[in-house]
Amino acid sequence: MAKTRQDLKILIVDDDEKSLKLLEAKLNILGFKRILKANNGDECMSLSQEELPDLIFLDIVMPGLDGGDIAKKLSEIEKTKDIPVIFATVLITSKEIGSSGSEIEGKIFIAKPYDTEKIEQAIRVALGDM
């Protein structure tokens, strides 16, 4: 049986507390209730392996391990390698990403500030229709 939105476990990784809370609120509006949060790469690596989330929203620009480094590490670990990642960034705009939920070279991106519709589109690309 497929998981419902309420059943899906989503990990948000961002060093900015406001961004974490904003994305959590938008995910709650969309019906996602099992939200985990990490403020840095080390917390993300720990939580990912302990909790095995269904999806990870990963900020690209963070001190220490950045989003790209974290995604690479996750892909090298057997139990986390298949967890879909959506990269969150201020480096490109929603307009540059486009309206399709934004796959660029096989990676899924979403622009900050977060737009609820774009979040939902990106999740559909990452997980398929729910």
Overall number of domains in the chain: 1
Higher-pLDDT residue of 61 and 55 is 55
Residue 1 falls inside a structural domain: no
Tens-digit pLDDT profile for residues 14-30: 999 999 999 999 999 99
DSSP percent split of the chain into helix, strand, coil, nearest 5? 40, 20, 40
Number of neighbouring beta carbons within 10 Å of residue 20: 19
pTM equals 0.89
Q: Which domain holds residue 43?
A: 9-127
Tens-digit pLDDT profile for residues 70-125: 999 999 999 999 999 999 988 665 555 554 445 555 689 898 889 999 999 999 99
Residue 2 falls inside a structural domain: no
Amino acid at 74: L
The domain that holds 67 is classified in CATH as 3.40.50.2300
